[in-house]
Amino acid sequence: MKYLKVIAFTHKQIELKELGKLVLCQENLTDKLHEVKARFGINEIFYLATCNRVEFVLSTPQKVDKEFAHQFIESLGMGLCHNSMGTFLDAASIYEDHAAMEHLLRTSCSLESLIVGEKEILAQLRKAYESGREAGLTGDKLRLIMECVVKTAKEVYTHTNISKNPISVVSLAYRKLKDLKLCSNARILIIGAGETNKNISKYLQKHKFSNFSVFNRTLSKAQQLANDLGGEAFELEDLKTYKRGFDAIITCTSAVEPIITTEIYASLLNGDTDRKTIVDLAIPNDTAAEVLEQFEVNFIEVHSLNEVAKKNLQERYHELSHAETIIEQNISEFLVMLKQRRIELAMRQVPEKIKEIRNNAVNTVFAEEVQSLDKESREILEKVMNYMEKKYISVPMIMAKDILINSN
């Protein structure tokens, strides 16, 4: 676990609007991570970006401090100016070893989330790891870490009330949208077909909204969501020419530049002067700041949910200690498992060595004696040696594990 390091930028130290500057473009994300992995001698790595955090999870013997983080972030080509880089580095949280493990477990259980008790973070963390694994960026160490992360989060959600009457960024955003009292036949444009928009769409559908147009870079994903909603699918580029009007926009994409520019918004209005609603749950925002300056808009974003999030934390505060106890128990169990794993890796050549000794004894050292035995005697000798071989493999392994565990 000593090689586990985390570089974290979160809502606790950084304004959500600023956090978006650290989000990496998905199109060349894998290439960039492979490049920094090779450049900095990182054994394993994956990248997590949600509406309230950007984190890099590493397994590396390298010393990870603010100087390392500076070089690391700079090599990712985010285009940050000197002042922004300094601000972000000052706000970065760097964890290693036990503290890094505790941070990941707390994160997976939503204890570090803007909305404590929301379960989306576990799915997001798993997806981030799986993406890294599929890209060949992770290996055995982070696999073991993630197994513990998932196990711990499930125990916290099962054995505490931290997620009772669950609240999430999506549900809070829908509550604010509901307060605007849109009619059920409101024309709703959904930009992006990821998990966040799928989740908020379920709320809309549940409350009888039925007029949907879904836009996405990958048309097949737009079609899938549109089919679920009984709506129509479009490619993202079609926003520029869409003239059917709208009452609300729900947007959440992984774009690093605004999707809804003043030109596109004016085109979507197509002369309509009514006040519209935008629910923008993307980090960075999909809506250009100029849109809000030039047009009358009901704007709902992640940042505006902070006060509700604080109230939610107060309501769940008494569950935190129970969750933290579960986390500490799992870290203790994980440390024992790691010791056992080290023994297994260290002794994985024992079976081969024992087989070599056996073959040498039968075929070389005692070859003449073995050859002189009758068939029945050879069969008995074979059984005895098979039995001894199994015991010589299993007994030292068990004893070594017990010695190592009991010595601490």
Note the pLDDT tens digit of each residue in 268-301. 999 999 999 999 999 889 999 999 999 999 999 8
Say whether both 58 and 118 belong to one domain.
Answer: yes
Same domain, 151 and 23: yes
Residues 99 and 182 in one domain: no
Q: Tell whether 174 and 74 lie within a shared domain.
A: no
Taking the mean position of all CA atoms in its chain, how far away is CA 31? Answer: 18
Q: What average pLDDT does the chain have?
A: 89
Q: CATH number for the domain including 142?
A: 3.30.460.30
Contact 13, 59 (CB under 8 A): no
Which H/E stretch holds residue 175?
Answer: helix 169-179
Residue 329 within any structural domain of the chain: no
- As for how many domains the chain has, the answer is 3
Is 327 a member of any domain? no
**Same domain membership, residue 62 and residue 152:** yes
Q: Is the dihedral of CA 171, 215, 11, 261 positive or negative?
A: negative
The residue range of the domain holding 195 is: 169-295
Closest CA to 253 of 181, 327, 197, 207: 197
Binding residues: 50-53, 113, 118-120, 124, 192-197
Among 115, 133, 164, where does a domain finish? 164
For residues 317-345, average pLDDT: 84
Per residue in 374-383, pLDDT (tens digit) is 989 988 988 9
Q: Which residues are annotated as a binding site for NADP(+)?
A: 192-197
The Cα 260–Cα 273 span in angstroms is: 17
Query: Do 114 and 182 lie in a common domain?
Result: no
Structure tokens at 179: 């307060």
With beta carbons less than 8 A apart as the criterion, state whether 94 and 6 touch. Answer: yes
Please tell me whether residues 150 and 285 are part of one structural domain. no
> 216 with 104, same domain?
no
- Give yes or no: residues 134 and 37 share one domain: yes
Q: What is the mean pLDDT of residues 177-184?
A: 88
**0.75 cut: is pTM over it?**
no
Q: Is residue 320 part of a domain?
A: no
Q: Rounded to a whole number, what is the distance in angstroms from the first to the last CA of the chain?
A: 16
Residue 185 placed within a domain: yes
* Residues that constitute the known binding site for substrate: 50-53, 113, 118-120, 124
CATH number at residue 243: 3.40.50.720
- Say if residue 48 is in the same domain as residue 132: yes
User: Would you say residue 408 has pLDDT above 60?
Assistant: no
Last residue of a domain, one of 130, 164, 198: 164
The pLDDT of 128-147, averaged and rounded, is 95
Task: Determine, yes or no, domain membership for 227.
Answer: yes
Domain identity same for 212 and 287: yes
| Residue 404 confidence class, pLDDT cut points 50, 70, 90 | low
Does residue 303 lie in a domain region? no
Q: Which of 273, 295, 317 is the last residue of a domain?
A: 295
Residue 305 resides in a domain: no
What pLDDT, on a 0 to 100 scale, did the predictor assign at position 407?
A: 59
How would residue 401 be classed by pLDDT, with cut points 50, 70 and 90? low
Cite the active site residues.
51
What's the number of CA atoms in the CB half-sphere (13 Å) around residue 315? 16
> Looking at the domain assignment, is residue 232 inside a domain?
yes
Burial of 403 (0-12, 13-18, 19+ CB in 10 A): exposed
Tens digits of residue pLDDT in 202-246: 889 888 899 999 999 999 999 999 999 999 999 999 999 999 999
